[in-house]
Structure 1
Amino acid sequence: MPHSDSISRVALKKITPDVSGAMGALHGAAVSAAHDAKLEPELLELLRIRASQINGCAFCIDMHTKDARAQDETEQRIYALNAWRETPFFTDRERAALALTEAVTLVHDGRVPNEVYAEAAEVFDEAQIAALIWAATVINAYNRIAIATRMVPGGYVPKQKNG
């Protein structure tokens, strides 16, 4: 049953275009940092989906699962992502990124534990860890924007996979 709401929500891009533009620029800078650090776009989509699942952001889950499929991600891995620790479907590198993402997303549950950071440091260099933290931070901010403004999922069409 679709969620209905009788209260109209603010159109952030329209009302605060400078702030919305700054958020877009932050996203672009985070994507550039991830690219420069040679992080795989597929890994970033897993990170975005997982944070969005934790936050309950239907709009972002819809968007990033579509983007992941456009990057040739398998349905099996997407479906199992919310239980990634219980599956054999993810690499050690992906597991470290997912654990770090979960810790950043759930920072109120005990900060980012040293063991989670150390696990990430075993498989990622400093530039990659920085890019992962930025990517997690940006998707968490976008989750909050989409949830607060009740963005409706379903209409997003992904860009085609790059070459």
Structure 2
Amino acid sequence: MTHVNASKLVPSAYQALIDLEGAVRAAAEKAELDPHIIDLVKIRASQLNGCAFCLRMHTREAIEKGESSDRLAVIAAWWESQYFSPEEQAALAIAERTTDMAASRHLPELDSSALTDEQVAVVVWVTVAINAWNRVAVSSHYPVHP
């Protein structure tokens, strides 16, 4: 398969993703969704999708906002730790189920009442957006250098 940079070759679609990201960000602010939850969702979905580019970017952003290395170290098994609040657990479960519905069957049922309906909807959209970004970055082979 030929490797192409989908972002550059179809700039109108790339711009639509940027616009989606802006709409999701505005909805998150309106729903008063904690920005740390958004970072966790983006990191976890990027792990599931194997997107090194987005993992590096969103992990760095989370660290800049004060996220701990301990929490980042266990996010891949978040349900097995006590590091995450009920709100964060609910958001991570939504992210897993939205990213890989079949593989997420192992997850325990969580009380989604930790988030408002509007926040649940925003987490779904955050996940949809990062999944789209992951797929563009992976298929376009965005470089990830040390």
User: Structure 2 length as normaliser, TM-score?
Assistant: 0.90
Is this contact kept in 2: 1:59–1:154, CA < 8 A?
A: no
Gaps of 5+ in 2: none
Out of 123, 126, 133, the residue aligned to residue 114 of structure 2 is 123
Out of 21, 24, 27, the residue aligned to residue 27 of structure 1 is 21
What one-letter code is carried by the residue in structure 2 that aligns with 1:68?
A
How many Å apart are 1:89 and its aligned residue? 0.8
How many Å apart are 1:22 and its aligned residue? 0.6
What is the aligned partner in structure 1 of residue 79 from structure 2?
85
Query: For the residues of structure 2 that align with 1:136 and 1:74, how far apart are their CA atoms?
Result: 22
5 Å-filtered alignment, 1:96-135, equals 96-109=90-103, 115=109, 119-120=111-112, 122-135=113-126
What is the aligned partner in structure 2 of residue 67 from structure 1?
61
How many Å apart are 1:65 and its aligned residue? 0.4
How many Å apart are 1:17 and its aligned residue? 1.0
More helix by share: 2
- Where relative contact order (Cα < 8 A, 6+ residues apart) is larger, the structure is 2
What is the aligned partner in structure 1 of residue 11 from structure 2?
17
Number of residue pairs the alignment of both structures matches? 144
Query: For the residues of structure 1 that align with 2:133 and 2:8, how far apart are their CA atoms?
Result: 16
Tell me the C-alpha RMSD between the 2 structures.
2.0
Query: For the residues of structure 2 that align with 1:71 and 1:43, how far apart are their CA atoms?
Result: 12
Query: For the residues of structure 1 that align with 2:118 and 2:17, how far apart are their CA atoms?
Result: 21
Is this contact kept in 2: 1:105–1:140, CA < 8 A?
A: yes
How many Å apart are 1:31 and its aligned residue? 1.1
What one-letter code is carried by the residue in structure 2 that aligns with 1:49?
I
Is this contact kept in 1: 2:45–2:95, CA < 8 A?
A: yes
What one-letter code is carried by the residue in structure 2 that aligns with 1:90?
F
Gaps of 5+ in 1: 1-6, 156-163
Is this contact kept in 2: 1:101–1:132, CA < 8 A?
A: yes
Query: For the residues of structure 1 that align with 2:83 and 2:126, how far apart are their CA atoms?
Result: 22
Is this contact kept in 1: 2:5–2:141, CA < 8 A?
A: no
What is the aligned partner in structure 2 of residue 161 from structure 1?
none
